[in-house]
């Protein structure tokens, strides 16, 4: 599961599974982030306030909505995740010759920070 915050995106994964499966989960969630997927609404704000009055409705939406992607978005995230793992295993450099636009540069910085500091 991926939980975006104002400062970073936290990816949580099953600890009681194989290391390979853990990498597949993480790369899949990175695929959603890279593609800019937004989960569909899982619980409207009024229902969220009623059921979970002590939690910010936006936080509830981000957490519960994590599994409500469209099938096409799931396939895209899976493909991106597979490409990430394939590239990581090949050891080849993936940096493009063309400059990054501001959105791409921000995403690249966030991903790099997350991968360099996994304990944060």
pLDDT tens digits, one per residue of 6-42: 778 888 888 898 888 889 999 999 998 889 887 655 5
- pLDDT attached to residue 106: 82
- How far does the chain reach from its first CA to its final CA, in angstroms? 16
pTM (2 decimals)? 0.55
Q: pLDDT digit string (tens) for 57-110?
A: 776 666 665 555 678 888 999 999 998 888 877 754 545 555 667 887 787 777
Lookup result for tokens 């995740």: 81
Local confidence band at 56 (pLDDT 50, 70, 90 cut-offs): confident
Give whole-number Cα distances, 46 to 43, 51, 54, 59, in Å.
8, 9, 13, 13
What pLDDT was estimated at residue 115?
67
Give the C-alpha distances (Å, rounded to integers) separating 66 from 15, 37, 70, 95, 109: 18, 10, 11, 29, 23
- Least Cα distance to 103 among 46, 36, 8 occurs for 36
**Three-state DSSP class for residue 5:** coil
């Amino acid at each position: 599961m991926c939980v975006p915050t104002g400062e970073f995106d936290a990816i949580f994964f099953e600890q009681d599974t194989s290391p390979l499966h853990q990498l597949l989960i993480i790369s899949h969630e990175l695929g959603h982030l890279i593609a800019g997927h937004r989960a569909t609404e899982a619980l409207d704000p009024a229902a969220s306030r009623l059921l979970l009055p002590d939690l910010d409705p936006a936080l509830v939406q981000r957490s519960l909505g994590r599994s409500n992607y469209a099938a096409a978005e799931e396939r895209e995230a899976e493909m991106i995740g597979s490409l990430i793992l394939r590239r990581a295993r090949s050891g080849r450099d993936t940096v493009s010759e063309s400059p990054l636009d501001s959105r791409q540069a921000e995403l690249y910085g966030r991903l790099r920070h997350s991968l360099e500091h996994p304990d944060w």
